[in-house]
Amino acid sequence: MGGRQGPATGRPVPGPVVGVLLAAGAGRRFGMPKVMACDGEWLRSAVDALARGGCDRVVVVLGAAVVEVPDPAVAVINEDWADGLSSSVRHGLLAARAQGASRVVIHLVDLPGVGPQVIRRVLSATDEVRVARASYGGRPGHPVAFREDCLSELLASLAGDRGAGRWLSGPGGALPVPCADLADGMDRDTPGAVGVPDGEGI
């Protein structure tokens, strides 16, 4: 991995860990953009989970609704959000690359039950493997974490609403990291409803 030179040792200093929060969708089944759900509490919770889970910086990809994002996050606007999930993932990955990320964590705004412990566990797995993702009861879910050397492959794999799902589930894809003891990993697609772990999110 690249990085700056450390002042004392001359060794490369790893770039930041960048959390990318996908929050650009219109939430049609939900009845509103999920970034606005619970008066913005889902957004605040997800940013907090990334920041306290080991991310040095947090990027929130907005689209259907443009809202103020909480500190320490910064917003990236995806004008092409209606083209599908892959456009939001692309915006987030390019923002992470521009910040010199050494590792990236992708998370979804509609997972209010996923806290910093899950982020930290999945991120820690990338000490040993290139790509890791949370799993809940054997189902793939989020977050997904990966090293900087995966960025080009991920960007090339993006397509429509599948995002990078095919690449993640293919040979040499993401290592599943069991997290059911920490969260249910369920996305919320309609008000008051609990879905299943969202394995299609990126």
What tens-digit pLDDT sequence spans the chain (202 residues)?
445 555 555 667 889 999 999 999 999 989 999 999 999 999 999 999 999 999 999 999 999 999 999 999 999 999 999 998 899 999 999 999 999 999 999 999 999 999 999 999 999 999 999 999 999 999 999 999 999 999 999 998 887 666 677 778 877 789 999 999 999 998 877 666 544 455 555 6
Residue that the structure tokens 């790509």 belong to:
131
Segments making up each domain of the chain, as ranges: 16-178
Buried b (16+ CB within 10 A) or exposed e, 154-186: beebbeeebbbbebbeeeebbbbbebbebbbbb
State if pTM tops 0.95.
no
CATH match for 16-178 among 3.40.1360.10, 3.40.640.10, 3.30.450.40, 3.90.550.10: 3.90.550.10
